[in-house]
Chain A
Amino acid sequence: MKTDDVQHLARLARIAITDTEAAQFTQEIDDILQYVSEVQAVAGTDAVTPTVGPVYNVFRADVVTTEPEQYTDTLLQAMPETDGRFMKVPKILKQDD
């Protein structure tokens, strides 16, 4: 792994990292990957069906379970920037003047 690869991962994960951080993470992630790659030998090449336990893909009925507006004010208050009942976000694209 190179620092460029780590910078790419950081962009995918939406985290700005400095060159110093990238250098440190590159070394550490390399070490961790080397360690965890042991699973490849342990799992072998035979197909193993991943198990998920006995309870999975359980769905509830698609019905409204809360009162209208029950949480609206609470959730709006948690937002860093609002405009009335809307969440305010910056532009998606930079504007060229």
Chain B
Amino acid sequence: MGDGDPAGVAIVHAMASGMGGMRTSGDLVARMQMTRGMKIAEAKKYVANKLGVSLAELTDGAVMWELRRDLKIGVVYSKRGLQKGIEAKHHIAKLLDIEINSVNLFKQRSG
């Protein structure tokens, strides 16, 4: 989407029809579209199965906050001791069984 006025477009779409990003599971579903070319229904089902939640729970902020914390896949708050950035993506790649370009790059460079 082109969102010149964030409060008028980006935020409104996020509230009206978006998955919720890393507040919920939007980034995970997006990764299945990007890495496997999955359409939305298939991508949601894949992520729900991997997370062990229902389709409805994928966009439930209360459920996903605890689950993301426990699975070490990143939460929106910057909490001490919780995984951030590339650390969280390392766990996402393993959880979803996908390749993440930056994670692979990190492994190459730090190995």
Task: Determine if chain A interacts with chain B.
Answer: no
